Amino acid sequence: MNVRGAIPDDAEAISDVLEELVAAGKRTKPGDAAFVLRHYIVDPDRVQCSVAVDDDGRILGLQSLKRAREGNSYGTPVGWGIIGTHVRPSAARKGVGRGLFAAIRDAAHAAGLERIEAYIGADNDVALDYYGALGFRVHRHEDGIVCKVYEVA
Ligand SMILES: CC(C)(COP(=O)(O)OP(=O)(O)OC[C@H]1O[C@@H](n2cnc3c(N)ncnc32)[C@H](O)[C@@H]1OP(=O)(O)O)[C@@H](O)C(=O)NCCC(=O)NCCS
């Protein structure tokens, strides 16, 4: 597995990852290529958007890190990072998410971010465990949401 920065030409393949999650009942938000391009790849608040790719060049997952701006929809404190992670169900629990975070953590450090927040559904036990395994700790709750924070060393 290789981790690299996402480019606009990846939008269709990343959309395929998100559609696999939708089909598995693990995602409800949009997942089309236009959304991927706008929301992850060329978002003006992007710090890093990484993809994990297998030996055949197939995208297995993505991780997005953005800088929180005033009025962001997650209520994340301004200047913190906001993280999102999406791994194909067919590639789950094989270290893809862990590999993606190694690159994102480096990007956060290079960008001078001190904290990264994950906005997680309170019923999403897998994501809660995943972020916990990476060192994220609970720091606030909203209705149906658990927010975990990672202190960037
Ligand atoms: C959450 C998600 C990103 C994890 O990605 P992944 O590539 O499967 O994770 P990894 O294989 O790197 O696992 C890293 C650690 O996370 C935890 N973990 C991952 N999947 C788990 C599961 N199904 N049950 C319990 N713990 C799990 C484990 O501690 C694991 O370490 P271990 O395998 O050494 O025990 C992936 O399941 C996913 O994309 N889920 C759907 C989308 C989503 O909910 N994203 C988060 C939104 S906030």
* 67, two tokens: 């800088």
**Residue ranges around ligand 1 (CB below 6 Å):** 21, 26, 85-87, 92-98, 118, 120, 124, 126-127, 129-130, 133
> Tell me, what amino acid is at 44?
P
**CA count, 13 A, side-chain hemisphere, 102:** 9
Residue in 119, 120, 126, 149 to alter for ligand 1 test, most ligand atoms within 8 A of Cβ: 126
Chain position carrying tokens 């009025």: 71
Number of domains in the chain: 1
For ligand 1, the distance from its centroid to the CA atom of residue 20, given in whole angstroms, is 16
Please list the ranges in the chain whose pLDDT falls under 70.
none
CATH number reported for the structural domain that contains residue 138 in this entry: 3.40.630.30
Angle among Cα 43, 112, 70 to the nearest 5 degrees reads 50
pLDDT of residue 30: 86
